[in-house]
Amino acid sequence: MKYAQIAGWGMYVPSTVITNDAFVRMGLDTSEDWITSRTGIEQRFLVGLDEATSDMAVKAGLHALSMAEMHGREIDLVIVATCTPDHVMPSTAAIVQNRLGADGAGALDINAACAGFVYALNMATGQIESGRATNVLVIGADELSIYLNWKDRNTCILFGDGAGAVILKASDEPGIMSSTMGSDGSGAGLLTIPGGGSRFRTNGNGRKPANSYLTMNGPQVFRWATQMMTSAAERVIASSSLKPEEIDLFIPHQANLRIIEATAKRLGLDPEKVFANVDRYGNTSAASIPIAICEALDQGLIHVGDNIVLTSFGAGLSWAAVAVRWTAPVPERRSPWVPFRQSLETRVAAVRSVLRRQQRRVGTVIDERLRRD
């Protein structure tokens, strides 16, 4: 039997930083202390006007490939977890696959909102364990800022933009030890972006279009999230035959510091074993856990042989968790040629994409002329 191990990781956040005082200057009925005391968030990063989800995903993916010392063409499958895709179709993953030069790789999006990355990790693990894939690139990327009502202090203060990625590879030794995921659609209306789907249409058929602002029932989501993240974490800990004291690091979805602290307390974990960076990034949705993994590695908090638990929740209502045995050492130094090589490979991929589009156009013209003749 094959197992899935994390072999590479990477992250990207935009350059624009929004601190809590910006909301006060906007005239929002709030204060820096109010935001920090209720959420733990002090700042977040927001995308620029021309920055799409795929742009962030590609940058995080390149970093992950670099860390794993792999080329895009070695990837068998690209999974992008996002609820803010570039388009309704095609998938954002297809755009990322093309730009990374992952020729021949399958590509698909997963939308489980903030739980999406752990869902995608789960799906990628299944592909490797079944022997259908050897190397899978899993990316969590979202830019929920484009759906925020900047006059609603209950939502606009919470979210930031970003992307994080890991590469799973097949191995004879366990990496992903156990996983769980689930959903409860009866709570689908508690956290939603109403517009943009088939329920509300804009094609003049009599249905009234809905607004595209994110809406959330904060108190109900808070209560449910604490319960479900705890339950999901307990499930993967038990199925991995681990004891809570054997968990070296707990990385939950970074939505709210109070939710993180309440979940850790329910699990009986020491505070030093709980990773939180929500103060610096806010809730980056599907990107929050892979970004947290990258930061924990940078801070020397993850070592080979460590047992790590990831747990998440999101709209749907959805939840997921995995238990991971960490197997990848952090490289002491990276080749200075990697940026040059990746720049060359992405340029080659872009040229190849242009040539393929031109080839299809020429083929269409030839077919039309042959039919006329």
pTM: 0.92
10-14, 150-154, 227-231: which has the highest mean pLDDT?
10-14
CA distances from 33 to 124, 149, 218 (A): 41, 21, 19
CA distances from 314 to 127, 136, 253, 254 (A): 23, 23, 9, 11
- Among 20, 135, 283, 307, which one carries the catalytic annotation? 283
For the CA atoms of the chain, what is the radius of gyration? 21
On the question of pLDDT at 204 being above 70, the answer is: no
Tokens coding 198: 């088939």
Residue 112's closest CA among 288, 320, 354? 320
DSSP code, position 292: H
- Among 20, 98, 114, 307, which one carries the catalytic annotation? 114
- Which pLDDT tens digit goes with each residue over 231-260? 999 999 999 999 889 999 999 999 999 999
Query: 3-class DSSP state for residue 88?
Result: coil
- Which pLDDT tens digit goes with each residue over 292-328? 999 999 999 999 999 999 999 999 899 999 999 999 9
Phi, psi of 274 (to 5 degrees): -110, 125
On the question of pLDDT at 161 being above 90, the answer is: yes
Phi, psi of 189 (to 5 degrees): -80, -5
Q: In what order do the strands lie in the sheet with 307-314?
A: 176-183, 318-325, 307-314, 249-252
- Which pLDDT tens digit goes with each residue over 54-71? 999 999 999 999 999 899
Least confident residue range of 128-142, 194-208, 265-279: 194-208
Sign of the Cα torsion 69, 275, 266, 114 reads negative
Where do the domains of the chain lie?
3-325, 337-373
Q: Is 203 a catalytic residue?
A: no
Other CB atoms within a 10 A radius of the CB of residue 347 amount to 11
- Is 25 buried (19+), middle (13-18) or exposed (0-12) by CB count in 10 A? exposed
On the question of pLDDT at 208 being above 60, the answer is: no
- Among 111, 135, 253, 307, which one carries the catalytic annotation? 253
For the domain made up of 3-325, give the CATH fold. Peroxisomal Thiolase; Chain A, domain 1 (3.40.47)
- Which pLDDT tens digit goes with each residue over 74-88? 999 999 999 999 999
Q: Is 253 a catalytic residue?
A: yes
